[in-house]
Amino acid sequence: MRFMPYHLYLNLLLAPAVGYAIGEVTSLTVNRKRGRSLAAIAAVMTAVAYLVGLVSPWGFGFHLLDLISLALGIFVAVTRLR
């Protein structure tokens, strides 16, 4: 069995939590309105949050599971606004 660093699994837990937080804050900011444009904004902001984490000095690099966790985060953020 191949060893996988713990931060890869942590990303799978944190990305949906960040997506939920971004979706909820966006929803609260616009007085609980919903729509495609707000879902797109939340998706972009989740991707920006991921990029900020990737560029940070404590970033761990890029892995395939990072894309899966980013997709999960975007999915959760969009479903909060649909």
- Chain-centroid distance of CA 25 in Å reads 13
Specify the pLDDT at position 57.
67
- Model pTM? 0.82
Helices (H), the chain: 6-29, 36-55, 64-80
Specify the pLDDT at position 58.
66
Sequence length of the chain is 82
Show the low-confidence residues of the chain (pLDDT under 50): none
Specify the pLDDT at position 8.
65
Specify the pLDDT at position 82.
86
Specify the pLDDT at position 7.
62
**CB proximity list for 14: less than 8 A, separation 6 or greater:** 69
